[in-house]
Chain A
């Protein structure tokens, strides 16, 4: 089944403790992206990647890192999480410009 898989689905952590949210897609998509979704603010793009070893900042990249060492994986790294990073996170992948994205099921992160 074609899908984007994120893990974990739910995560509660403490301020400053490094964490990684994994994202994997099995559709051989070149494009991958991370979004955060907060009430009233819609989907805001954190980082995106047009291909392996190519990443670019989105609208809200501060406090996040990503890597794209292989086509299928695009992990989101929070080196020192803070409470304002409490949010619902979505990973998405697509063929590229001019095509839609497939989204993962989301990761609800709480930083206390």
Chain B
């Protein structure tokens, strides 16, 4: 079946720099996407979502970009802080029908102080 994947399993960035975490999805019918953050010992936490009628959505220090042409999703974190160190998952879903979210395997972000 089709599934969500990630380009990089690990990412190390200097504190204060911007981080970009990428995700490729293969189900062209997916029209809802989410980024989750999972800190050590905790459950995944919702960060930001985007629906397919948008190509960009901004939150506090985070931006999600969606490129439907190449089926690519990215999460940008501005001025990365030590507290951003975690595993980040992308997930996709169809916006109709009874289908659950499909999660990628995750990218570990390490912030170097």
The total of chain A residues at the interface (CB under 8 A) is: 25
**Residues of chain B contacted by A40 (CB below 8 angstroms):** 105
Main secondary structure of the interface of A (DSSP, over half): strand
Interface size class of B (residues with CB under 8 A): 20 to 34
Residue on B with the closest CB to A104?
A: B43
Could you tell me the distance in whole angstroms from the C-beta of B95 to the nearest C-beta in chain A?
4
Partner of B43, one of A48, A99, A100, A103: A103
User: B44 contacts which of A45, A97, A99, A103 (Cβ < 8 Å)?
Assistant: A103
Task: Report whether B43 and A97 are in contact in the complex, using a CB–CB cutoff of 8 Å.
Answer: no
CB-CB under 8 A for A42 and B104, given A97-B94, A98-B96, A100-B34? yes
Using an 8 Å CB-CB cutoff, how does the interface string of A75-102 with B read, 1 for contact, 0 for none?
0000000000000001010001111111
Interface of chain B, helix or strand or loop or mixed? loop
CB contacts (< 8 Å) of B106 on chain A: these are 42
In the complex, 15 of the A-B residue pairs with CB atoms within 8 angstroms, ordered by the A residue number, are: A40-B105, A42-B104, A43-B89, A43-B103, A92-B43, A97-B95, A97-B96, A97-B97, A97-B100, A98-B96, A101-B46, A101-B101, A103-B36, A103-B43, A106-B42
User: Top 4 A-B pairs ranked by shortest CB distance?
Assistant: A103-B43, A42-B105, A98-B95, A43-B103
Contact surface of B with A, Cβ cutoff 8 Å: 32, 34, 36, 41-46, 49, 51, 89, 91, 93-101, 103-106
